[in-house]
Structure 1
Amino acid sequence: MEYQILTDATADMSEEMLEGYPKLEIIPMQVEVGGEQFLFGPGGNLTVKQFYEMQRSGKFASTSQINPQTYYDHFEPVLKNGQDIFYLCFTSGLSGTYNTANMVIADLKEKYPERKIICVDTLCASVGEGFIVREALRMQKEGMSMEKLQKWTEEHKLQVCHWFTVDMLDHLRHGGRISAASAAIGTVLNIKPLLHVAEDGTLKVMDKPRGRKKAFKLQMSKMEQGWLPELGKLVVIGHGDSMETALELKETVLSKYPDSEVRIADIGPVIGAHTGPGMLALIFWGTTR
Structure 2
Amino acid sequence: MPVVVVTDSSACLPVELAEDYGIIVVPLHVLVGDDAVLEGVDEMPGELYDGAATTSAASPGELKVAYTRAMRASKGDGVVAVHLSRHLSGTWEAGRQAELALDDNVRVVDSRGAGMGTGFAALAAARKAAAGASRDEVFQAAVDVAKRSKCYIVVDRLDQLRRGGRISTAAAVLGTALAMQPVFQVVDGKLALKEKTRTSSKALAKLVEAAVKASGDTPTALAVQHLDAADRAEQIADELRSRIPDVDEVVICEFGPTLGVHLGRGAVGVVVVPGGASFDSASTVDGEP
Q: TM-score by structure 2 length?
A: 0.84
What residue identity is the alignment partner of 1:219? Answer: L
Give the drift of 1:137.
2.5
RMSD of the TM alignment (CA)?
2.4
Name the CA shift for 1:78/1:255 in 2 (closer, same or farther; >3 Å): closer
Q: Distance in 1 between matches of 2:150 and 2:199?
A: 22
Q: Distance in 1 between matches of 2:39 and 2:98?
A: 21
Q: Distance in 2 between matches of 1:13 and 1:275?
A: 18
Residue of 257, 260, 264 corresponding to 1:276: 264
1:66-145 to 2 correspondences below 5 Å:
66-81=58-73, 82-83=75-76, 84-109=78-103, 116-145=105-134
Q: Distance in 1 between matches of 2:94 and 2:83?
A: 11
Bigger relative contact order (CA 8 A; separation at least 6): 1
Does the 8 A contact of 1:55 with 1:277 survive in 2? Answer: no
What residue identity is the alignment partner of 2:47? Answer: M
Q: Could you say which residue in structure 1 is the equivalent of 2:241? A: 254
Q: Could you say which residue in structure 1 is the equivalent of 2:278? A: none
Q: Distance in 2 between matches of 1:61 and 1:70?
A: 21
> Secondary structure of the residue that 1:250 maps to in structure 2?
helix
> Secondary structure of the residue that 1:278 maps to in structure 2?
coil
Residue of 126, 151, 164 corresponding to 1:162: 151
Residue of 210, 231, 237 corresponding to 2:198: 210
Q: Distance in 1 between matches of 2:70 and 2:273?
A: 31
What residue identity is the alignment partner of 1:86? Answer: V
Q: Distance in 2 between matches of 1:139 and 1:150?
A: 9
Does the 8 A contact of 1:193 with 1:209 survive in 2? Answer: yes
Does the 8 A contact of 2:118 with 2:146 survive in 1? Answer: no
Does the 8 A contact of 1:191 with 1:209 survive in 2? Answer: yes
Name the CA shift for 1:18/1:71 in 2 (closer, same or farther; >3 Å): closer
Name the CA shift for 1:142/1:162 in 2 (closer, same or farther; >3 Å): same
> Secondary structure of the residue that 1:193 maps to in structure 2?
strand
Q: Could you say which residue in structure 1 is the equivalent of 2:12? A: 12
Alignment: residue pair count: 272
> Secondary structure of the residue that 1:241 maps to in structure 2?
coil
Residue of 139, 159, 166 corresponding to 1:150: 139
Does the 8 A contact of 1:92 with 1:123 survive in 2? Answer: yes
Per-residue CA deviation, residues 150-196 of structure 1 (Å, 9 max, x unaligned), is 22332342210000001122212222334556435534543222111
Q: Distance in 2 between matches of 1:191 and 1:46?
A: 34
Name the CA shift for 1:202/1:277 in 2 (closer, same or farther; >3 Å): same
What residue identity is the alignment partner of 2:273? Answer: W
Q: Which runs of 5+ in 2 are unaligned?
A: 276-289
> Secondary structure of the residue that 1:2 maps to in structure 2?
coil
Name the CA shift for 1:157/1:228 in 2 (closer, same or farther; >3 Å): farther
- Structure 1's consecutive aligned runs of 4 or more residues displaced over 6 angstroms after TM superposition are none
Greater shift in the superposed pair: 251-260 or 212-221: 251-260
Give the drift of 1:90.
1.7
